[in-house]
Amino acid sequence: MVQHVWKCSSLLPPIRWHLLRMMSTASVPVMPECDYKPKPYRGPTYEKIMKIRSKHVSPTVKPTFNKPLILSEGKMQWLWDNEGKRYLDLFAGIVTVSVGHCHSKVVEPLKQQLDYLWHTTQLYVNYPMYEYAEKLTAKMPGNLKVCFFTNSGSEANDLAMVLAREYTKAFDIISFRNCFHGSSPYTAGLTAHGSWKNAYANGFGIHHAMNPDPYQGIWGGSNCRDSLVQTDRTCSCADDQCQAEDKYLEQLQEIFDNSIGKRVAGFFAEAIQGVGGVVQYPKNFLAKAYEMVRSRGGLCIADEVQTGFGRTGTHMWGFESHGVIPDIVTMAKGIGNGFPMGAVVTTPEVVNAIADVSLLNTFAGNPMATTVANKVLDVIEEEKTQERSLEIGNYMIKELVKLRDEFEIVGDVRGKGLMLGVEMVENKETRRPLNPQSMGEIRDAIKDLGVIIGIGGLRSNTFRIKPPMCITKEDANFAVAVVRKAIGDFLRKQ
């Protein structure tokens, strides 16, 4: 395998105090070595940047940490701040850096392209876009053979909504509660996550079905999901028959019966919910949901913005692990390893039905973005990043689940490949979410120990672990040790 890896309280019952003291007083985990030397920081002072931010930058995006972090350089799985401190990146720019920060096999071709052509629009032909279209569709199953290019995941999902409505001549679209499909005015309606809703009209014609969540949902438990680690919630389902799946399908049927006419335009689903907190559905649920949608004439749309490009380990695309082939697939984030780009892939039948619709996007498919995307696909294949996601992800989730047994506030550990989640709770029995202040305190402590981690879920109580797909077993051990210490230290102070 070719590798380009830079090595580099009241909350706690008395019976566990001895274990907690031992964990929390343990030495600080030692970060793996790294043989890359970062360049000197070139920017203005921290104080100057914060002053500019307060006066001239929109306050709508809040800094992740208590003290905003200035990041100046990245290499593979590593990031450096303005003071030269190194961090293991477990969030990958919100699941966007797929093959590694500034991967040389991606950077060098982009540098070469910059000397030739930056932009012309799709009204003209540029060969990087056409080369990529052929290469990308070769990775798709079934008859998913035609590409549209966009600049982001929100744009891709906007376009997928247009395609579904134009093709079916129907209007109603279904997605799940707790889903996130974008924050543009169009996709904000598709999203069913209250923190992303604003006071403008959105959601006309959108219906949100009950989220089939085996951990926090009404039904589900220890035999339900496609993961090495199952929830410890009691489950009456047999190994080959999931009662929770049937119950959630009944809820989807109620949407059809009560809210939609004879036809539906489309049905959106992530293979694993990303922003929603790494939520996985009961094993066979999605395949049966697709059957229900198609029986009403609707198109099935897979949002692969976060789960695509081998991140789940077992397959190139997350939907494949559900045994389905969608009619439309949307993608972004990892497609360009951090370079702004998105895509929609669909069938010739869908495209032929909308041939008279004008869908020009000025910047989409530009030579820079498609050059990057081309090389990302090459790296995924040459360096076997999908296989690495499976190997390291399987190892890491087995180590993370030990935290659930050690700490009362770790409620659930789940996911596939390098798309993992650790849900934190106030109380394991009630599964009441851990409060945002405590989540922020633990995340800041994890950062101070040298690891950057994400937070998601409707109640912002799930740690999201979705690193560049080049991390090592040594990195995984370090990360788990850091999370263990941070949680232990937090509880010791309660």
Instruction: Give the start-to-end residue ranges of the domains of the chain.
Output: 14-99+385-492, 106-382
Q: What CATH number labels 14-99+385-492?
A: 3.90.1150.10
Range 186-203 average pLDDT: 88
Least confident of 9-13, 169-173, 211-215, 437-441: 9-13
Residue 236 has pLDDT above 70, yes or no: no
Q: Please name the helix (run of DSSP H) or strand (run of DSSP E) that holds residue 206, with its range, or none.
A: strand 206-209
pLDDT of residue 173: 98
Q: Tokens for 237, please give them.
A: 């389902």
Say which residues have a Cβ less than 8 Å from residue 416's Cβ, sequence separation at least 6.
Answer: 226, 227, 272, 280, 312, 313, 314, 321, 393
Range 24-39 average pLDDT: 87
| Inter-residue contact 419 to 275 (CB < 8 Å) | no
Range 405-411 average pLDDT: 96
Confidence of residue 404 (pLDDT cuts 50, 70, 90): very high
pLDDT of residue 1: 38
* Residue 326 or residue 183, greater confidence: 326
pLDDT of residue 8: 47
Q: Across-strand partners of 344?
A: 148, 330
pLDDT of residue 242: 72
Burial annotation 58-86 (CB, 10 A radius, 16+ → b, else e) = eeeeeebeeeebbebbbbbbbbbbbeeeb
Confidence of residue 12 (pLDDT cuts 50, 70, 90): very low
Range 309-321 average pLDDT: 98
pLDDT of residue 197: 84
Listed residue (194, 191, 188) closest to 180, CA to CA: 191
Class level of CATH domain 106-382: alpha beta
Residue 87 has pLDDT above 80, yes or no: yes
Residue 372 has pLDDT above 70, yes or no: yes
pLDDT of residue 355: 82
Q: What are the C-alpha distances in Å from 299 to residues 8, 137, 282, 289, 344?
A: 46, 19, 21, 11, 14
pLDDT of residue 359: 82
Q: Across-strand partners of 454?
A: 464
pLDDT of residue 240: 64
Tell me the pTM: 0.93
| Residue range 463-478, pLDDT digits in tens | 999 999 999 999 999 9
Range 188-208 average pLDDT: 89
Least confident of 197-211, 292-306, 433-447: 197-211
Residue 74 has pLDDT above 60, yes or no: yes
Range 364-381 average pLDDT: 97
Enter the DSSP assignment of 332.
Answer: -
Residue 195 has pLDDT above 90, yes or no: no
Percent of all residues in the chain with a pLDDT value above 90, rounded to a whole number: 81
Residue 17 has pLDDT above 60, yes or no: no
| Residue range 140-155, pLDDT digits in tens | 999 999 999 999 999 9
Tell me the angle at which helices 367-382 and 385-406 cross, rounded to the nearest 10 degrees: 70
Residue 9 has pLDDT above 60, yes or no: no
Listed residue (107, 97, 136, 181) closest to 418, CA to CA: 97
